[in-house]
Copies of this chain bind each other. A is one copy, B any other.
């Protein structure tokens, strides 16, 4: 790359008078594009933050932030002392011959009570009826749905939609929605989103089923899932004939050796804010996963179930942006608007597109058009961004209420995965009782809790109580009341 004069991406930056935040985002997007297009080849060393800031006439802080953001997303890597480089982990490092194979999960029975990122389906509670506070994750705050704005948009849509739009739909979705979503996702999630590759679907659950059927028809018989992860993924893929293989996570993401040894050629992951652990995958693990996918000619389903909600910094860009031909990206409005809309999207690699669209066609001929047109209005007019900001503010406040209540009433509890999303992991010290008794007492007190054990195969024997606590659907006072009730029941403060 040129280290003097104007770098190639300078053209994309807003004029110097534009707000710093907009210039910063534009710099990040210009860098992403330059890496993707190959203008910045893998292995290239980037100029120092000081030099680039001077070149571009922006503050050094903006450049530092851009480097950090793209490093988190896996576009760049940073070696302490030796600067910033294009590309993530070195290739081929993780193609070891470890035979460690995950636990094979057959057509799923048993675990029908857990809920995950792709579904809010909740089973009966251990304690029966009389739930006062429900901390089970998976549901957003339905009272935040913008009824009045949605109603106005509905009326506008019915007034302007041409008659033919009411006919049998394009199974890929309404053209105006695909265009609006492609723009929004490029901007917000750093994906590579061509409207021609975007398929509107009923949500991440349907995206999973669509992809499952396509992969099954191509001869795959299993798909890897994160451990811990969402049992719902397993149930959905089982319905398409694919077995699921649990693949262990550590604090950085999927561990490369068990993945390589598993024999699967497809995985479903939640790298932005892993469900349920709450970690954000490291740049190295993102790169390693894509290396693996290319090596086995495989595919990755990225379930970006809550990628829009990040509280203490900018959201980490989606994995799909790093390799749109290996990653199927799926998201929905279930957490941002309402699950009842059953409206979502997938970005599909070229090689799978025809098969996915034909599956969508035979499954339902395409999504209903009116809600699609309303969402297109919403996105195009900025109402969707406003809704996301509104949710983000509300959810951050609830998260803070939860952290404060845990610190006050159950001191000693360690909380993780707090930077983003609609839930946290809480590890309550064993002194509040062994897990079974803790959960039973909470249930008796009318508080529904979901133990982490329901989301995977690990069973640490340290006596601590690990919980997946969903807070987004509860008011701050309900959050505090729930924690207080639990603490009282288990003898806490």
Contacts and interface: CB of A to CB of B under 8 A. Distances in A.
Interface in A153-208: 154-155, 158-159, 163-169, 201-203, 205-206
Given A165-B340, A169-B339, 14 more contacts: A119-B168, A119-B365, A142-B164, A143-B163, A148-B158, A151-B155, A166-B339, A168-B339, A205-B364, A209-B362, A209-B363, A236-B362, A239-B363, A340-B368
Those 3 A-B pairs whose CB atoms lie nearest each other, nearest first = A239-B362, A340-B369, A166-B338
Contacts of A362: 205, 209, 235-236, 239-240
Count chain B CB atoms within 10 A of each CB in A148, A341, A362, A369 and give the residue with the most.
Answer: A362
Nearest to A362: B239
Interface string A105-130: 00000000000000111000000000
A203 B235 CA distance: 24
A359 interface: yes
A176 B154 CA distance: 22
A418 interface: no
B143 A206 contact: no
A147 B158 contact: yes
A365 B155 contact: no
B166 A359 contact: no
A320 interface: no
Contacts of A168: 119-121, 138-139, 334, 339-340
Contacts of A163: 142-143, 145
A370 interface: yes
A321 interface: no
A247 B203 CA distance: 38
A420 B346 CA distance: 41
A343 interface: yes
Number of chain A interface residues as a range? 35 or more
Interface of A: 119-121, 138-139, 142-143, 145, 147-148, 150-151, 154-155, 158-159, 163-169, 201-203, 205-206, 209, 235-236, 239-240, 334, 338-343, 358-359, 361-371
A33 to B, nearest CB: 35
A341 B368 contact: yes
Given A364-B205, A365-B202, A340 B155 contact: no
B167 A142 contact: yes
A447 B98 CA distance: 66
A343 B368 contact: yes
Contacts of A365: 119, 121, 202-203, 205-206, 339, 342
Nearest to A164: B142
Nearest to A139: B167
A239 B166 CA distance: 25
Tell me which of A119, A164, A364 has the highest count of chain B C-beta atoms within 10 A of its own C-beta. A364
Given A205-B365, A365-B342, A145 B166 contact: yes
Given A142-B164, A145-B166, A151-B155, A367 B342 contact: yes
Nearest to A120: B168
A342 B368 contact: yes
A206 B364 contact: yes
A178 to B, nearest CB: 16
24 contacts: A119-B365, A121-B168, A142-B167, A151-B155, A154-B154, A166-B338, A166-B339, A168-B334, A168-B340, A169-B342, A203-B365, A205-B364, A206-B365, A235-B362, A236-B362, A239-B358, A240-B362, A339-B365, A340-B369, A342-B364, A342-B368, A368-B368, A368-B371, A370-B371
Contacts of A150: 158
Nearest to A358: B239
A252 to B, nearest CB: 31
A363 B366 contact: no
Contacts of A240: 362
Contacts of A167: 120, 139, 142, 338-340
A341 B369 contact: yes
Nearest to A174: B340
Contacts of A205: 362, 364-365
A46 to B, nearest CB: 44
A161 to B, nearest CB: 8
